[in-house]
Amino acid sequence: MATQKLSESAEGVFIICATPFSDNGDLDLDSADALIEFYIEKGVSGITILGMMGEAQKLSAEESSVFLRHVSKRIDGRIPLVVGVSNPDADRLSTLAGVAMENGAGGVMIAPTTGLAGDDEVYAYFSEIMNTLGEDVPVCYQDYPYVTRSEISVGCFNRLVGDHPQLVMLKHEDWPGLNKLSAVRASGQESGLRRVAILAGNGGLYLPQELARGADGAMTGFAYPEMLVEVVRLFKQGHHDRAEDLFDAYLPLVRYEQQPNFGLAIRKETLRRRGVIRSARVREPGPVMSDIDHGELTHLISRVENNAGRLC
């Protein structure tokens, strides 16, 4: 199996892959196959599994390993695979990272453990992790303090980049964080620091602005990945207004998917309606859509598809 390693030159859309379950809560690997083919057909540049929106925290270690091996075999080196390995247990993190790389992953995504108190603790934590993993394991730093409650300054991130060559990507999801993104780019350029890839998260809510500030693409999930792909493509070609027009057409659904602690149910139901996965099941503890929710989603999908169709 050919492996495409994650690098500083990464760009485009690395889609955050949902983890499909059957109605009884078991892993649905047939739907996983369909989902991988759907993402690739829609033009994504890479796939990220076992992220927070991939319900990684609800999987057993064995399930994570089974899902990882299955997805990697299905991708078969066609595009890079990034595996979320964040875990408060450093040994489990290292073990899953090893399994990921042994099975064809191009790199791993790591968020700081919850509640690290300031830059010194963040730097020490990541330095230890990256020294343990070794320079052959490319790392994406997931900066999502809304969930992790662990902040990192621009200076601390730059220090990690300078000291650890395997740190090749920032997943930008500080919120609000546009000025941090600008500062990472500006400070790195001014100091001659190695340039790393920056991919935007947060469901793509601020994607046009993040691209304008120096992001190379997106690492997020959305039930219409083709929109993310086309927005990034148009923006990189200099068609900024066309990119924003397309983004605006989908914005009501992007926003609706981003409801805290509820958006995953909407994303999975939309994927089910698009015929990609068989069940919209979210594992407990997780949200369940009401009849009113289903009606709203029907209305939003109709409007979004009609508005997007007018731009074609």
pLDDT 10s digit of each residue in the chain, 312 long? 567 899 999 999 999 999 999 999 999 999 999 999 999 999 999 999 999 889 999 999 999 999 999 999 999 999 999 999 999 999 999 999 999 999 999 999 999 999 898 999 999 999 999 999 999 999 999 999 989 999 999 999 999 999 999 999 999 999 889 999 999 999 999 999 999 999 999 999 999 999 999 999 999 999 999 999 999 999 999 999 999 999 999 999 999 999 998 999 999 999 999 999 999 999 998 899 999 999 999 999 999 999 999 987
> What is the rounded distance in angstroms from the CA atom of residue 282 to the CA atom of residue 265?
6
Q: For the chain, give the secondary structure using H, E and C.
A: CCCCCCCCCCCEEEEECCCCECCCCCECHHHHHHHHHHHHHCCCCEEEECCHHHCHHHCCHHHHHHHHHHHHHHHCCCCCEEEECCCCCHHHHHHHHHHHHHCCCCEEEECCCCCCCCHHHHHHHHHHHHHHHCCCCCEEEEECHHHHCCCCCHHHHHHHHHHCCCEEEEEECCCCCHHHHHHHHHHHHHHCCCCCEEEECHHHCCHHHHHHCCCCEECCCCCCHHHHHHHHHHHHCCCHHHHHHHHHHHHHHHHHHCCCCCHHHHHHHHHHHCCCCCCCCCCCCCCCCCHHHHHHHHHHHHHHHHHHHHHC
Model-level pTM greater than 0.85? yes
Q: What is the pLDDT of residue 115?
A: 87
> What is the rounded distance in angstroms from the CA atom of residue 31 to the CA atom of residue 22?
9
User: What are the structure tokens assigned to 255, written together?
Assistant: 């926003």
Q: What is the pLDDT of residue 176?
A: 84
Considering the domain 12-237, what is its CATH architecture?
Alpha-Beta Barrel (3.20)
Q: What is the pLDDT of residue 2?
A: 60
> What is the rounded distance in angstroms from the CA atom of residue 219 to the CA atom of residue 14?
5
| Cα 35 from chain centroid (whole Å) | 15
> What is the rounded distance in angstroms from the CA atom of residue 28 to the CA atom of residue 21?
5
Using alpha carbons, select from 109, 1, 129 the residue that is nearest to residue 56.
Answer: 109
Q: What is the pLDDT of residue 117?
A: 87
Q: Are 56 and 83 in contact (CB under 8 A)?
A: no
Q: What is the pLDDT of residue 1?
A: 54
User: What are the structure tokens assigned to 82, written together?
Assistant: 């990034």
